[in-house]
Structure 1
């Protein structure tokens, strides 16, 4: 069906795609299929080989939209990541993000050389394209799951930091294929530059952004999330324009901003970017679904090649990468098996597969189709079984309690007060205590408690229970103290009591 191109039609079609995409997320959990697979299916359905509503074959625009979406998704993921959770797994995550990607690239390269009948450099290019796990897929699949915190943090940190390695390897092999006399020394220097400068700019702009957000006094609270997002785009563009890793810089900057103390309008910034990241995720996967033509994808040659490479990637390359990368680290055999299975591929490989197309390399269309099939296989098989696999291995923890509402009536950007939100852990020192018995700092008031999705109006006799969501009105001076109190563990409190009693005994003796 052909429709004349006009703005009204584009707006209508965009609205329909977003509505269908949002509704899809509601049914994805019931169907046991990751939402991103359904987003891709929507794109394929609306495309020229489906209903014929949209004809889209521009690898350039798909790449542009994909990169912008990845920046926003990585920024949102970094904002939500607690440094206290990531710090213990930083080294294994970085090992997986570097050595793991290289190992996967090498193993898949050998398989691609034999299965696709291409040159060695082309085989390594294919391996690099599918070498990294995908942040969008991992963040989406793990969100709300009760997988052990250490394993979830490892996967999220790995997926947030391994894209730069995959991008570097992909671009490097494209240069090697195109160059008459390739220089491996320059490539090594380029790697150090990309990672080192990307990390440095991420740290600097992250500090600058958090400081600017706290110091600037904007007329509207709705501008603070936009201001933060602008820094994310600025971080990527500045870093990428000087030839360094923009994706790494964005993730590092987001970590700095999200973990900054006393961040003005924290909840507003988080909620805005969460919703925007979902919108970009829907848009990105639908666009990637539009870019592929099912009549070319589901051919016997592509399907056989894709299945063979998927099996090698999932059952050989990824496990080998995991076991080699974190050898000697404190992970059990079952945990390594789970990390091997949870290496989801998603948007990043598909976006990277557009680079050879834009470079005009031979076999680039075949690469794109096979990569697309590999991603579909990975997300369908691994993505839909991660939670069950973790449960089967006994690697699930307590059910995560997440707040579905935010309350931020007053912010320190306008006055010296703020309503902040805390989730009470089981081992928090205030769990099981009545409000009157808790030594809250001055100028602190517990305004509301959400318990099992019900509102509890607090009084002095109200007992704080594990998994309660507290909304606390506090002054800027008391904010740090109340946070330390609520996050203090019962073990630490017991030690403090023992120390005080010991000091009293010494004073009595003297």
Structure 2
């Protein structure tokens, strides 16, 4: 076998195994795993000269599609709907304010022109979804703040991309009209929202209607739909990143067959995408180059973390009822990750002046943000008193398993602590005719139920029923209010009806 192919396969396997193992190491250190992955890439760059910017940009975009889709499917619309307006302002006005303040600082600290400084600011101005979803997933932050950060990070990429692309166009040609650029931003946002909603609903219909022989194909079908959503939206002139997040939000908030399998597959695939993306991003950086922007990077990171982001947060939330402690926490959680580095490759590809200086400075800022902000979230949340508890009713593990060409199906139902059937005998549960509880998973032990079996919080029930009885079964175990909220049409959910 060709030794080069073997070496590549070995490096790929090593990357995945070491990447998975370092997640435990990063938890022990209290640091985001992306820091370890970036350092791994930088270490490899010492032994292997890699400068294929186009390839890294492609890998970064593909990985972000996977991460945004996974983040959208894990996000409950009922949770983020109340905070969509403040999160939307943070994702637009907040990014703009952060970019401008950081951009002016970069003009003097990096000795750049005004447009080049603003380009640096735009590149690092957004909160990174990959970093936020990765860090918040293992932190016990209260639900309102978590929802705000998830919604902001999932929707602020269009603003960052718009500012970056527009400024590069201005640097390449002074004839770029600011009004055309602004109009293009609203087109991108509008098309991203519309295509995300439409293609998300079509994806749900496709997954539920099609009958595949292999159940493992459903996660691939969902992921393929996400990639197609990005492509179609991007070709139409919209924001592919926003469309993918919205599409994932739609898929995650509807009853989808094999939903639990899709979510678990996406979670694992998103981790793999993060590992590969951050390692390749690290490969683009040579440690010796970072030394030339060390003090500049430190100063810019401090300005971004303690001045630009806090000012943008407080101005964006001035009309909303967030306490001072909540605003302080949101100010500190403007995590930087893959998006700024991927956007920095746009400058490298365009070949503008000082592109490599901007890229290295961006990389340095991302490292400091991930190390300091990501590593201090938990103690800061405890200090400010913004920790919270999980919701009592969690339907995220709900799954539908279709039984071939029959009209029956098996429902996998997780029972939360506030579910209406907790401490109820099965015989007393008002199940529809023809419905049977065939198994109870309690702490890993499978219980064969009978009418005297008592349902406990934390149980997972396996129920066989007819397709047309699904809603009735869910109302029995989850409660009518929860089912009604989850069964609303997408426009009703969007409008809060």
Give TM-score, length-normalised by structure 1: 0.88
Q: Does 1:421 align with 2:421?
A: no
Aligned residues: 481
**CA displacement 1:429-450 (0-9 Å, x = unmatched):** 2233333333233343344444
Supply the distance in 2 between the matched residues of 1:453 and 1:286 (Cα, whole angstroms): 36
Q: Does 1:483 align with 2:474?
A: yes
Supply the distance in 2 between the matched residues of 1:445 and 1:160 (Cα, whole angstroms): 40
Task: Give the structure 2 partner of residue 316 of structure 1.
Answer: 307
Supply the distance in 2 between the matched residues of 1:264 and 1:343 (Cα, whole angstroms): 35
Does structure 2 conserve the Cα–Cα contact (< 8 Å) formed by 1:28 and 1:35? Answer: yes
Q: C-alpha displacement at 1:212, in angstroms?
A: 1.3
Q: C-alpha displacement at 1:122, in angstroms?
A: 1.0
Task: Give the structure 1 partner of residue 181 of structure 2.
Answer: 187
Task: Give the structure 2 partner of residue 38 of structure 1.
Answer: 36
Tell me the secondary structure at the aligned position of residue 384 of structure 1: helix
Task: Give the structure 1 partner of residue 141 of structure 2.
Answer: 147
Tell me the secondary structure at the aligned position of residue 284 of structure 1: helix
Task: Give the structure 2 partner of residue 20 of structure 1.
Answer: 18
For residues 234-249 of structure 1, the aligned pairs below 5 Å read: 234-249=228-243
Task: Give the structure 2 partner of residue 111 of structure 1.
Answer: 105
Query: Which is further off, 479-488 or 143-152?
Result: 479-488
Q: C-alpha displacement at 1:451, in angstroms?
A: 4.4
**CA displacement 1:257-303 (0-9 Å, x = unmatched):** 22223x12212222221111111111001111111111111x1x411
Does structure 2 conserve the Cα–Cα contact (< 8 Å) formed by 1:34 and 1:384? Answer: yes
Q: C-alpha displacement at 1:374, in angstroms?
A: 0.6
Does structure 2 conserve the Cα–Cα contact (< 8 Å) formed by 1:427 and 1:489? Answer: no
Supply the distance in 2 between the matched residues of 1:402 and 1:278 (Cα, whole angstroms): 27
Q: Does 1:208 align with 2:202?
A: yes
Q: Which protein shows a greater Rg?
A: 1
Task: Give the structure 1 partner of residue 342 of structure 2.
Answer: 351
Supply the distance in 2 between the matched residues of 1:484 and 1:241 (Cα, whole angstroms): 42
Does structure 2 conserve the Cα–Cα contact (< 8 Å) formed by 1:80 and 1:258? Answer: yes
Task: Give the structure 2 partner of residue 387 of structure 1.
Answer: 378
Q: Does 1:279 align with 2:277?
A: no
Does structure 2 conserve the Cα–Cα contact (< 8 Å) formed by 1:429 and 1:490? Answer: no
Give TM-score, length-normalised by structure 2: 0.91
1:78 corresponds, among 72, 79, 86, to: 72
Supply the distance in 2 between the matched residues of 1:373 and 1:189 (Cα, whole angstroms): 33
Supply the distance in 1 between the matched residues of 2:405 and 2:252 (Cα, whole angstroms): 20
Tell me the secondary structure at the aligned position of residue 474 of structure 1: strand
Task: Give the structure 1 partner of residue 491 of structure 2.
Answer: none
2:388 corresponds, among 397, 412, 428, to: 397
Structure 2's unaligned 5+ residue stretches are 484-497
Does structure 1 conserve the Cα–Cα contact (< 8 Å) formed by 2:70 and 2:263? Answer: yes
For residues 223-372 of structure 1, the aligned pairs below 5 Å read: 223-261=217-255, 263-297=256-290, 299=291, 301-372=292-363
Supply the distance in 1 between the matched residues of 2:244 and 2:118 (Cα, whole angstroms): 27
Supply the distance in 2 between the matched residues of 1:410 and 1:174 (Cα, whole angstroms): 50
Supply the distance in 1 between the matched residues of 2:447 and 2:323 (Cα, whole angstroms): 42
Supply the distance in 1 between the matched residues of 2:373 and 2:418 (Cα, whole angstroms): 33
Supply the distance in 1 between the matched residues of 2:431 and 2:312 (Cα, whole angstroms): 49
Structure 1's unaligned 5+ residue stretches are 493-510
Tell me the secondary structure at the aligned position of residue 412 of structure 2: strand
Q: Does 1:197 align with 2:181?
A: no
Alpha carbons of structure 1 residues 206 and 410: separation in structure 2 relative to 1, 3 Å: closer
Does structure 1 conserve the Cα–Cα contact (< 8 Å) formed by 2:425 and 2:452? Answer: yes
Tell me the secondary structure at the aligned position of residue 6 of structure 1: helix
Task: Give the structure 2 partner of residue 506 of structure 1.
Answer: none
Alpha carbon RMSD of aligned pairs, Å?
A: 2.5
**CA displacement 1:10-63 (0-9 Å, x = unmatched):** 11211111111111112221121111111111111222x2xx1x3211111111
Q: Does 1:131 align with 2:132?
A: no
Supply the distance in 2 between the matched residues of 1:41 and 1:190 (Cα, whole angstroms): 37
Tell me the secondary structure at the aligned position of residue 473 of structure 1: strand
**CA displacement 1:381-404 (0-9 Å, x = unmatched):** 11112122112222212257999x
Alpha carbons of structure 1 residues 27 and 418: separation in structure 2 relative to 1, 3 Å: farther
Supply the distance in 1 between the matched residues of 2:477 and 2:460 (Cα, whole angstroms): 11
Does structure 2 conserve the Cα–Cα contact (< 8 Å) formed by 1:407 and 1:419? Answer: no
Q: C-alpha displacement at 1:247, in angstroms?
A: 0.5
Task: Give the structure 1 partner of residue 492 of structure 2.
Answer: none
Does structure 2 conserve the Cα–Cα contact (< 8 Å) formed by 1:345 and 1:379? Answer: yes
Supply the distance in 2 between the matched residues of 1:472 and 1:291 (Cα, whole angstroms): 52
Alpha carbons of structure 1 residues 435 and 393: separation in structure 2 relative to 1, 3 Å: farther
